[in-house]
Amino acid sequence: MHNYYIINGVVEFHPAVGTLRDLKEPGHVIVLNSPASRCFLLLIENVKTIVPQQEFMDVVWKMRGMQVSPNTYYQNISILRKGLSNIGLADDVIVTIPRIGLTLASNIQIKKLTSENRVHVNPEGLNFIKDSNKDLLNSIESKETNRELIASQSVSDLHEPEEIKRKNPGREIIYWGIGVLAIIAFFCCIALCIIVYEENKHFDDYHFSGVGKDIHMRVVKENNENYVFFIDVIPDYTCRLDNKS
pLDDT by 10s per residue, the chain, length 245? 789 999 999 999 999 999 999 999 989 999 999 999 999 999 999 999 999 999 999 999 999 999 999 999 999 999 999 999 999 998 789 999 999 999 999 999 999 998 765 555 555 445 555 444 445 445 544 554 455 454 444 433 433 334 434 556 677 888 888 988 999 999 898 888 888 777 666 556 666 566 555 555 655 555 555 555 445 545 555 555 444 44
Antiparallel, parallel or unpaired: β 19-22 and 51-52 = unpaired
Q: Looking at the domain assignment, is residue 107 inside a domain?
A: yes
CA distance 81 to 21: 15
Query: Same domain for 58 and 118?
Result: yes
What is the spatial distance between Cα 227 and Cα 123, in angstroms, rounded to a whole number? 132
pTM of the entire predicted model: 0.52
Based on the fold, state whether residues 174 and 209 are members of the same structural domain: yes
One domain for residues 29 and 138: yes
Give per-residue burial for 46-71: e unless 16+ CB within 10 Å, then b: beeeebebeebbebbbeeeeeeeeee
**Greatest C-alpha distance within the chain:** 147
Look up the domain containing 146 and give its range. Answer: 2-153
In a domain, 113, yes or no: yes
C-alpha span between 72 and 68 (Å, rounded): 6
Name 34's Cβ contacts closer than 8 Å, sequence gap at least 6.
18
What are the residues whose beta carbons fall under 8 Å from the beta carbon of 57, sequence distance 6 or more? 68, 70, 73
> What does the DSSP 8-state code read for residue 152?
H
Q: Are residues 82 and 126 in the same domain?
A: yes
Helix (H) or strand (E) holding 7: strand 2-7
End-to-end CA distance of the chain: 122
Kindly state whether residues 76 and 121 are assigned to the same domain: yes
DSSP 8-state symbol, 111: E
Residues 175 and 108 in one domain: no
End position of a domain, from candidates 153, 179, 206: 153
20 three-state secondary structure: strand
Q: In this structure, are 111 and 193 located in the same domain?
A: no
User: Do 123 and 22 reside in the same domain of the chain?
Assistant: yes
Alpha-carbon distance of 135 to 37, in angstroms, equals: 21
- Whether residue 147 is found in the same domain as residue 176: no
CATH number at residue 139: 1.10.10.10
Backbone angles phi, psi at 103, to 5 degrees: -150, 165
